[in-house]
Amino acid sequence: MNVVNGHAVIEIDKVTKTFGGVVANKDISLKVQEGAITGMIGPNGSGKTTLFNSIVGFHPIDTGSIKFEGNEISKLRVQEIARLGLLRTFQQTRIYGKMNCVQNMLISIPHRKAGLLDIFADHRAEDRERAEHLLEFVGLYEKRWLMGGDLSFGQQKLLEFAMALMNEPSVLMLDEPTAGINPTLINGLIDRLKRANEEFGITLFVIEHNMRVIMNLAEHIYCLAHGELLAEGTPGQIQNDQRVIDAYLGAH
């Protein structure tokens, strides 16, 4: 992993977010180091996805600060944040089921303005080449002409991952990337996440319930519980933290 001089690319400072009378996040502070793979765990309802949504601009925070590359982004919209190079994937995939894999890749490019009929225009040969290269990277090259809706759920997640890479993000946030994936595909996905980090230099921030996955993937892990930051540390420290065991690990 490529941690660069301890530089924090995402800085969350005392963030609170409520929905009506429900406190989803309370006074959370954390940092994601550039070039690293950072994990976030916690029981269902602990506020992980809410925090992810706040970071990428899906809803405003009530109080606190969210900085990306040193700049405050908590007032920016989703599209503005994406243009800065900060992207996320979702628990439920967001692909185009009636388009093939290559078309999914091309239509995901943020500056794409042409209609679907023009998506294979000759002047986009470079885009098509990159799309096929990334589909090969995630293991979907042989299925590149299949419709997205005809892929298995695990393959759809791989396609969504490739679509995110097509945007050349500097930071990619993944919300439970292995959820619903056949166990035989998980090791391959872990390997590709590590390769994206090492070969493309992409910083990864990962929510994950599979403890084996996150302990083998992340070098620093944050644990949330009841909307608050419960603990942080290396995988070894988290595994041996009694607070984490009581709140989360002991239930698995």
Q: Rounded to an integer, what distance in angstroms lies between the CA atom of residue 99 and that of residue 120?
A: 13
Q: What is the bridge-based pairing of β-strands 203-207 and 171-175?
A: parallel
pLDDT tens-digit series, residues 139-190: 999 999 999 999 998 899 899 999 999 999 999 999 999 988 888 888 888 9
pTM for this prediction: 0.90
* Domains assigned to the chain: 1-85+171-252 (3.40.50.300), 92-168 (no CATH)
Q: Looking at residue 182, what is its pLDDT?
A: 85
With a cut of 50, list the residues of the chain below it in pLDDT.
1-5, 112-117, 122-123, 252
**DSSP one-letter code for 95:** -
**Single-letter amino acid code for the residue at 44:** N
Q: Looking at residue 123, what is its pLDDT?
A: 43
